[in-house]
Amino acid sequence: MKELIPFRWPKEWTDASYLRWLKGTPINCLVGEHAPPFPLGDYEFVKWDPAQPPAGVTIREGVWPRVLPASKKDAAEAGATGAAWVDSNAGVIRLAQTLEPGKPVWLDYTAPGGNEIVPLDRFARAVAEAQAYGAHWIITLSPAFSVGLAKESQEAAAAWKRIVAALNLFQAHPEWKSYEPAAVLTVVSSFEGEAELLSQEFVKLVPRRHLACRIVRTQDLSESSLRGQKAVVYIDAQPPEGEVRKKLMAFAEGGGLLIAPQGLAGGEPAEVKIGYRIYRAGKGRIAAPPEAWYDPYLLMGEVHQLLSHREDVVRVWNGPDMNSHFVATPSQDRGVVHLIHYGSGLTPPVTLGFQRRYRSARVLTLEGARTIQPFPGGLGEEFPVGEFASYAAVEVMS
Amino acid sequence: MKPHAMDSGRVLTRRQAIAAAAGPYLAAVAPSALASSPPLVSAARCASYGEAVMPVLRKMFEQLGGIGSLVAGKTVAVKINMESPLRERTGFRPAWYSRWTHPDVIRAAVALFAEAGAKRIRILESSCEDDHPLEENFILGGWDPDKILKAAPNVEMENTAGLGYGKRYHRIEVKGKPYIYPGFDVNHSYVECDVMVSMAKLKEHRILGLALTMENMLGITPVTIYGESAGYEEPALRPYGRRTMFETGYRQPSEPSPKEVDPHSPRDPGYRLPRVIADVLRARPVHLAILDGIETQTASETVTVEPGLGRKIRLVQPGVLIAGLNPVATDAVGAAVMGFDPLADRPKPPFERADSFLRLAEEAGLGPRDLSKIALRGDPLKDLRFSFREQL
């Protein structure tokens, strides 16, 4: 099935001449409430009706990706992390992919309106963010952007060029789509009922800590989904039962760390760590919290500590307003780290470190590509990625 | 107020519990070395980290008369300098080349303390970001803490930003007339020790001018009580935020910790911060001060410079280690190595924005800042001088 790359036809574009902006780009699907009144050629049209989303596509409402603007002088909105609050679509996309596996995910949102002026070059970040997580943003230009293109303004044309560069970058690397998240932690949950808020917020928050994870819905849990994993956090109100319990216990007994609500193990714990009772289970361990979880941010920090930052598959320095998403082949001999910068301007010089050794790396941005060489770091080899504007892909090879 | 049960079965208030808890330990912390006159300070050339550090530091300790009498059979607390943000670097250079005490210096000192008979060595730092175990924060920065933990037997780490591994805070009181605070409540590690070592980076400070071994001791105060997210009714459960109250006095510490002696005193950070340092040092004396100036940065103690300062951060290699048995004397030598006059005071460099903490500490009886009153050992000062303000 052909992959559709959606673009919302601007109402300001009133005739077929505007199709020139799409010509030669990967965009192949127009979205709108009504089909434009002229022949569309090879472009597929998808009628937009929120009540009846197109078949075969998962639609999710997204947010304009960015560091939230300052509400006080010189201060960005602070989040639970204490760092500036970032609006990101990473969790929404990954949850959609987990809950509706196999279906393409489209994000539906527009740039902020009102008094807020959004620089046009930020639209490329929205495109790249969705693509990095294997989804598509329904590219929706602001009125200023579409009018700017209609008038052939330099600023709009340059911003459009960046959007096309982002699309082309991902089109040139179809292998990235076949890669799986590189992680040693798996989040298992029903993602509904009592666990819905906690589990879904957990998944939304983890990218900000650069805590890599796989996400598995409870009913989809299989032995293969835990292969190569060092820890599982089972986020539900009650401990697992039946087949799920058997699989998770087998994981722990085989040497893994199972973090789950109280009730899987009893008696005297082997140790107590950050309040968690740690029980031996075969070759592995079961960690039970001192009380029922209620705060996804605290839970995330606790899981990261129980696992240890030592197990981070990728480490990011100078990336405070950044998500990292590392996907790789099953053997992890090749992979790519998607870095999405949510702040404005250039990043500081970014450095990446990896759990395993890679021979070389290539940095691909919307501006170009370059090869970088590793240098010895305190925990292994590190790669000097350097500065970039909104998005960088770092391809690594063993 | 919640009552706190004590071992005797007596029920005390939280305030009484904190104050009473410090009592048994305070007698053990009087620094005999402070009495030595003139105080010994050793400064030496050390061109690089790695294996080069240990022999230089060993010789420096010998020049101080040996550390055996100080640490043998004792619990040694080592307050290191690990400035937040933990994941930020100066360019591509890890923080230990610019803002943190380099782990190689910590490791060498730990090995030498053990060699001299230390019973237990505890590496301490409080994070403004989190309550992770300190080991995790080394990893966040990109260093393997095992390299320090395995440098000697009985080496431990603790993040002292909050209660840490302790069950309650402990009161330490300022000896003599306090400038700002009569005392502080701190993590157990700073009273459950026999020897206090401050091991800092040779670097500048946006307010104080210099961030050396004395400024490093501000970090013994828990973020849960003195940080921006400190509780009001009681210490916060988790630490977050800088100790802005020390700078601006915009609020008082969490209950029941000691409040300022004069809440109407100037709120100028340049007035307050150097005085708070002198208060902390009189409440928790330092027996051994070590400055890592092998590699560092100019202009700031963080990854950013104060707007309007007109200077940029430069990574530099002064190639110097300094150690002394008195923190004021050690910092005075550090100031001189950095190209400043330790006898200078506001508004002369480096004290353009603050009263000299060296002068205030000296006046508080903590030690001399006049180089003529310091017994300097090691390499001649003129050979070690590295002017920070000339690094453009």
Within a domain: residue A161?
yes
**Shortest alpha-carbon distance between residue B240 and chain A (Å):** 7
Would you say residue B267 has pLDDT above 70?
A: yes
Dihedral of CA B189/B191/B197/B202: which sign?
Answer: positive
Cβ distance B132 to A305 less than 8 Å, yes or no, reads yes
Q: What is the pLDDT of residue B198?
A: 98
CB-CB contact of A233 with A185 (8 Å): yes
The answer to whether A331 contacts chain B (CB < 8 Å) is no
Q: What is the pLDDT of residue B22?
A: 42
For residue A309, give the nearest of B139, B240, B303 by CB distance. Answer: B139
> CA B186, CA B217: separation in Å to the nearest integer?
12
* Same domain assignment for residues A91 and A128: yes
Nearest residue of A to residue B143 by CA position?
A: A378
For residue A309, give the nearest of B103, B129, B136 by CB distance. Answer: B136
Mutate to test the interface with B, among A317, A354, A375 (most CBs of B within 10 A): A317
Q: How far is CA B195 from the centre of its chain?
A: 14
Within a domain: residue B13?
no
Q: What is the pLDDT of residue A69?
A: 67
The CATH number given to whatever domain includes residue A236 is 3.40.50.880
Would you say residue B304 has pLDDT above 90?
A: no
Taking alpha carbons only, the member of B326, B309, B321 closest to residue B205 is: B309
Q: What is the pLDDT of residue B4?
A: 36
b/e per residue, A184-205, with b = 16+ CB within 10 A?
bbbbbbbbeeebeebbbbbbbb
Cβ distance B88 to A316 less than 8 Å, yes or no, reads no
Q: What is the pLDDT of residue B292?
A: 98
Question: Using one digit for the tens of pLDDT, what is the confidence trace for A260-304?
Answer: 999 998 889 999 999 999 999 999 999 999 999 999 999 999 999
Q: What is the ipTM of this complex?
A: 0.92
Q: What is the pLDDT of residue B3?
A: 36
DSSP state at residue A84:
B
* Token pair listed for A143: 């009125």
* Same domain assignment for residues A42 and A111: yes
Mutate to test the interface with B, among A304, A309, A383 (most CBs of B within 10 A): A309
* Same domain assignment for residues A297 and A193: yes
* Token pair listed for B145: 């803490």
Set of chain A residues whose Cβ sits within 8 Å of the Cβ of B303: 348
The answer to whether A50 contacts chain B (CB < 8 Å) is no
For residue B7, name the pLDDT band (cuts at 50, 70, 90): very low
Question: Using one digit for the tens of pLDDT, what is the confidence trace for B127-185?
Answer: 998 889 999 999 999 999 999 999 999 999 999 999 999 999 999 999 999 999 999 99
The answer to whether B263 contacts chain A (CB < 8 Å) is no
Cβ distance A317 to B130 less than 8 Å, yes or no, reads no
The answer to whether B140 contacts chain A (CB < 8 Å) is yes
User: What 3-state class would DSSP assign to B95?
Assistant: helix
Nearest residue of B to residue A303 by CA position?
A: B132
Mean pLDDT of B269-277: 98
Within a domain: residue A141?
yes
The answer to whether B144 contacts chain A (CB < 8 Å) is yes
Give the end of a domain, one of A283, A311, A339: A311
Would you say residue B2 has pLDDT above 90?
A: no
Would you say residue B124 has pLDDT above 60?
A: yes
Nearest residue of B to residue A305 by CA position?
A: B132
* Same domain assignment for residues A81 and A204: no
Q: What is the pLDDT of residue A83?
A: 63
Set of chain B residues whose Cβ sits within 8 Å of the Cβ of A317: 87-89, 94, 142
Taking alpha carbons only, the member of B180, B377, B350, B359 closest to residue B266 is: B180
Set of chain A residues whose Cβ sits within 8 Å of the Cβ of B99: none
Nearest residue of B to residue A310 by CA position?
A: B139
**Shortest alpha-carbon distance between residue B370 and chain A (Å):** 39
CB-CB contact of A145 with A156 (8 Å): yes
Largest CA distance in chain B: 63
Nearest residue of A to residue B165 by CA position?
A: A274
**Shortest alpha-carbon distance between residue A378 and chain B (Å):** 4
Q: What is the pLDDT of residue B26?
A: 39
Within a domain: residue A72?
yes
**B322-to-B246, B310, B366, B389 alpha-carbon distances in Å:** 27, 29, 18, 20
Set of chain B residues whose Cβ sits within 8 Å of the Cβ of A312: 139
The answer to whether B100 contacts chain A (CB < 8 Å) is no
Cis peptide before A104 (omega within 30 of 0): no
* Same domain assignment for residues A204 and A246: yes
Question: Using one digit for the tens of pLDDT, what is the confidence trace for B44-54?
Answer: 999 999 999 99
* Same domain assignment for residues A13 and A160: yes
Q: Which residues pair with A363 in a beta bridge?
A: A370, A394
> CA A107, CA B123: separation in Å to the nearest integer?
49
Within a domain: residue B155?
no
Q: Which residues pair with A78 in a beta bridge?
A: A84
In total, how many domains does chain B have? 1
Within a domain: residue B105?
yes
- Region of A230 on the Ramachandran plot (φ > 0 left; ψ -120 to 50 alpha; else beta): alpha
**Shortest alpha-carbon distance between residue B46 and chain A (Å):** 21
Set of chain B residues whose Cβ sits within 8 Å of the Cβ of A351: 89, 92
Q: What is the pLDDT of residue A82?
A: 53
In total, how many domains does chain A have? 3
> CA B84, CA B93: separation in Å to the nearest integer?
15
* Same domain assignment for residues A125 and A27: yes
Mean pLDDT of B338-351: 98
* Same domain assignment for residues A19 and A142: yes
* Same domain assignment for residues A156 and A28: yes
Within a domain: residue A178?
no
Give the end of a domain, one of A277, A311, A345: A311
Low-confidence ranges of chain A (pLDDT < 70): 1, 69-83
Q: Which residues pair with B198 in a beta bridge?
A: B79, B289
The CATH number given to whatever domain includes residue A351 is 2.60.40.1180
Cis peptide before B85 (omega within 30 of 0): yes
CB-CB contact of B355 with B364 (8 Å): no
Give the end of a domain, one of A273, A295, A311: A311
Within a domain: residue A320?
yes
Would you say residue B214 has pLDDT above 90?
A: yes
Set of chain B residues whose Cβ sits within 8 Å of the Cβ of A305: 132-133, 136
Within a domain: residue A1?
no
* Same domain assignment for residues A39 and A83: yes
Mutate to test the interface with A, among B106, B139, B158 (most CBs of A within 10 A): B139
- C-alpha dihedral, B347 to B353 to B354 to B356, nearest 10°: -50
* Same domain assignment for residues A189 and A61: no
Within a domain: residue B355?
yes
For residue A77, the enclosing domain spans 6-172
Q: What is the pLDDT of residue B55?
A: 98
pTM (two decimals):
0.91
Nearest residue of B to residue A376 by CA position?
A: B142
For residue A378, give the nearest of B129, B133, B142 by CB distance. Answer: B142
The answer to whether B305 contacts chain A (CB < 8 Å) is no
For residue B303, the enclosing domain spans 29-126+170-222+264-390
The answer to whether A349 contacts chain B (CB < 8 Å) is yes
For residue A379, give the nearest of B92, B133, B143 by CB distance. Answer: B143
* Token pair listed for B105: 């210096």
* Same domain assignment for residues A298 and A198: yes
> CA A13, CA A36: separation in Å to the nearest integer?
9
